[in-house]
Amino acid sequence: MKGLAAKLLIIITALLLTLTTGAATLALSAEIIVDRNSLAVGDSLQLQVSVAGSTSATPPRFKAVGGLQIVYHGPSTSVQIINGRVSASTTFNYSALATQTGTYSLGPLTVKAGGKTIQTNRVQVTVTAAATPPVPAQQSAPAQIATDPSDPVDSQLKKRLFLTMDLPRTSFYSGETVKTTIRLYTGGIEIQDVHYPTIKAADGCQVEIGKPTESRRNLNGIQFKVVEFPTTISFIKTGHLQLGPATLECNALVQRRSNDSFFDDFFNNYEQYPQSLASKSFQVTIKALPPPPAGFSGGIGRFSLAATAMPQEVLAGDPITVQATVTGRGNLASIGAPTIGNATGLKVYDAQRKTTKKEAGFGNKALFEQIIFPLKTQVTAIGPYSLVYFDPEQGRYQTARAAAIPVKVKPNPNFNLSVAGKPVDSASNQLGQGLVYIKDTPGRLRLKNAAVTRQIWFWLLQLLPLAAIGGAFFFRRYQEQQNSDTPLARALRADRHAGKALHQISKLLENGAYDEYLDELHRIFREYLADKFHLTAGGITGSVTNQLAATGVAETTLQNIAAFFEQYDRYRFTGAKLSKADTAQLTELVVTVITANRQLAKNGKKMGNKSGG
């Protein structure tokens, strides 16, 4: 028992060591990710530090940045198993509130993970002045709506409840997707029944409005609650069109004031004011794209490309999953996958989009996954990847690139390189040359349900041998019973034997051998009585009637038996001459007895059946 425990301990320790070593050998990397690179004063952005290859990293600290207030919100970890290999990552989440205009640099940060120290990238964030909404200059500190009788409610509502929408430019390209935000400002006013905003747009563009977020902003000394609706606008036709205004329906709640402030405070006496808010509209021009170069991904915007591969050390013929991430601004929802530059020695499957079009539309990245099989051990890298897109700000096509990812391909004894690596196209000329030729005749064409095993008669037919075996068995038993020496068997065969014997001796009568006939008839009758009543044939004489009377034989039959033996004795021992008529009379007596006994047996059987039933 002690030895077993020690072995168990050794195994567990070895497993733990293996797992720890495996974790340590994972490639470590760290990256700073921001949800946008520019924001206005008062806005906040989401900031993440992603550490790949470890779940035990310590959260890095950002140095104090003058115009940004950075707050740490906590980590999240994820572990993935791809083809039996474990990948792990930790993400540290922050938010940054812009307080001053300027361009700020975040990172590089030093991250400690898996006993190593790694550096992150550097990210630039630009903080611009706060957007100037159409707030009247004379707007003052949070006003008591309806407290100033000289200022009507509608006028005050317009100052404190309004809708804005921005556009970065007024000239776009067909196929371009622009992200904008519709903002609902409420300053010290309660609103309810807020509808989703809509944008009045011509046929030439498509608008999608996402889920709103809420923030607070100070404008000219008034604290506003801002509801932001992320919006993507895709331009699909060339020409001039009017975009907007964005409109939103809601009800403003305004407290009515009476002369009695006590009751005002006590009853909360609010009145609803239906509001139809509208932003300003824009006149935009949509231009056609210049002729695209080869490999154009369909992307219109400004993008960057990054690619990772897992695992980076494989056996030949094992799959590698490449994840290509396209980030930036533009039509991420409809952009095509990046293309691999060099596919020599690789079997490459089509890339598949992993982020849904909706996610890509409101996010800032599109993720593609591609399965690649290295076929040769000479493969040392996968890539480079490239993405050709159109930059509408520069008005020309650009190419985003991701460097080749180094991989190590080990020999795989179970992988048939020559077969699996054989490109299909090279064999297309001779496709099927090695096939054995088609059959000249269709064979036994038949309906799909016509198989014998699907027919009921086939299974019923299998009962036939069973029935035959059963029948043979019972027949054999009957035969055995007939041939045995039991009283019943003797009685059953007495009639048959007597009948046969009488038939055989009839020839003696034809030949006139009456004496011999009499002897034979006597013998047959004695044997019959012996079998029928289970007696000894040798000792049967006329006195047998005394014995038979006790067995229930009919009186008439007894008289016939007695008569036969009397007549036999007379002819045998007195020397009386026997004629043909006499033999017929004697035979008649025997037949009468046999018939009477048979009838008696039948009646008895019937009676037995009745009483048994």
Partner 1 sequence: MKPRFTKLIIIICTAVCLLLQTLPVNSSAKAATNAASDPKAIFATANSAYAKGHYQQAIKLYQQITSQGYQSGPLYYNLGNAYYKTGATGQAVLYYEKAKRLFPGDADLRANLAYALQNVNEGASTWQNRIWETAVGSLTLEQGWSAASICFFILAGLLISVILKPERREQWKPWFQITLSLVAIALVIFCSLAVCTGIDQSRTYAVAIKDGGQARFEPNSQATLYFVLPEGARIQILEHKSGWSLVQRRDGARGWVNDAYLKNF
Give the footprint of partner 1 on this chain (CB under 8 A). 80-83, 317, 319, 321, 349-350, 352, 354, 369, 371, 373, 414, 416, 419-420, 422, 424, 428, 431-432, 434-448, 450-453, 455, 457-458, 461-462, 464-466, 468-469, 472-473, 475-476
Question: Rounded to the nearest whole angstrom, what is the least distance from the CB of residue 427 to partner 1 in the complex?
Answer: 8
| CB nearer to partner 1: pick between 370 and 567 | 370
Reading the block at residue 37, the tokens are 């690179």
Segment holding 508, helix H or strand E: helix 487-510
User: Which of 577, 570, 580 lies closest to 522 in space, CA to CA?
Assistant: 570
Question: Rounded to the nearest whole angstrom, what is the least distance from the CB of residue 475 to partner 1 in the complex?
Answer: 7
DSSP single-letter state for residue 66: T
| CB nearer to partner 1: pick between 224 and 373 | 373
Coil, strand or helix at 267: helix
Hunting for tokens 């980030």 — which residue is that?
327
| CB nearer to partner 1: pick between 468 and 488 | 468
Question: Rounded to the nearest whole angstrom, what is the least distance from the CB of residue 340 to partner 1 in the complex?
Answer: 15
Question: Rounded to the nearest whole angstrom, what is the least distance from the CB of residue 454 to partner 1 in the complex?
Answer: 9
Backbone dihedral region of 244: left (phi > 0), alpha (psi from -120 to 50 degrees) or beta? left
493 touches 581 (CB < 8 A): no
| CB nearer to partner 1: pick between 137 and 436 | 436
Classify residue 90 by burial, with Cβ atoms within 10 Å: 0-12, 13-18, 19+. buried
| CB nearer to partner 1: pick between 369 and 519 | 369
| CB nearer to partner 1: pick between 80 and 171 | 80
User: 580-612 vs 555-573: helix axis angle to the nearest 10?
Assistant: 150
| CB nearer to partner 1: pick between 344 and 453 | 453
Question: Rounded to the nearest whole angstrom, what is the least distance from the CB of residue 439 to partner 1 in the complex?
Answer: 4
Distance, in Å, from the CA atom of 61 to the CA atom of 69, rounded to the nearest integer, reads: 13
Reading the block at residue 432, the tokens are 């099927």
Question: Rounded to the nearest whole angstrom, what is the least distance from the CB of residue 445 to partner 1 in the complex?
Answer: 5
**Contacts of 611 by beta carbon, 8 Å cutoff, 6+ apart:** none
The count of residues in the chain is 613
| CB nearer to partner 1: pick between 153 and 315 | 315
| CB nearer to partner 1: pick between 77 and 455 | 455
Reading the block at residue 234, the tokens are 């895709």
User: Which of 116, 123, 117, 115 lies closest to 96 in space, CA to CA?
Assistant: 123
Please confirm whether the linkage preceding 291 is cis (ω < 30° from 0).
Answer: no
HEC readout, 174-186? CCCEEEEEEEEEE
| CB nearer to partner 1: pick between 129 and 472 | 472
Distance, in Å, from the CA atom of 188 to the CA atom of 143, rounded to the nearest integer, reads: 7
Question: Rounded to the nearest whole angstrom, what is the least distance from the CB of residue 582 to partner 1 in the complex?
Answer: 42
Classify residue 268 by burial, with Cβ atoms within 10 Å: 0-12, 13-18, 19+. exposed
Question: Rounded to the nearest whole angstrom, what is the least distance from the CB of residue 482 to partner 1 in the complex?
Answer: 14
Question: Rounded to the nearest whole angstrom, what is the least distance from the CB of residue 446 to partner 1 in the complex?
Answer: 4
Q: How many CB atoms sit inside 10 A of residue 349's CB?
A: 12
Question: Rounded to the nearest whole angstrom, what is the least distance from the CB of residue 319 to partner 1 in the complex?
Answer: 6
Distance, in Å, from the CA atom of 223 to the CA atom of 186, rounded to the nearest integer, reads: 9
Classify residue 542 by burial, with Cβ atoms within 10 Å: 0-12, 13-18, 19+. middle
Coil, strand or helix at 49: strand
DSSP single-letter state for residue 338: P
| CB nearer to partner 1: pick between 262 and 457 | 457
Please report, for residues 494, 521, 529, 532, 581, the alpha-carbon distance to residue 586 in angstroms, rounded to integers and kept in the order given: 19, 8, 15, 19, 9
Question: Rounded to the nearest whole angstrom, what is the least distance from the CB of residue 371 to partner 1 in the complex?
Answer: 5
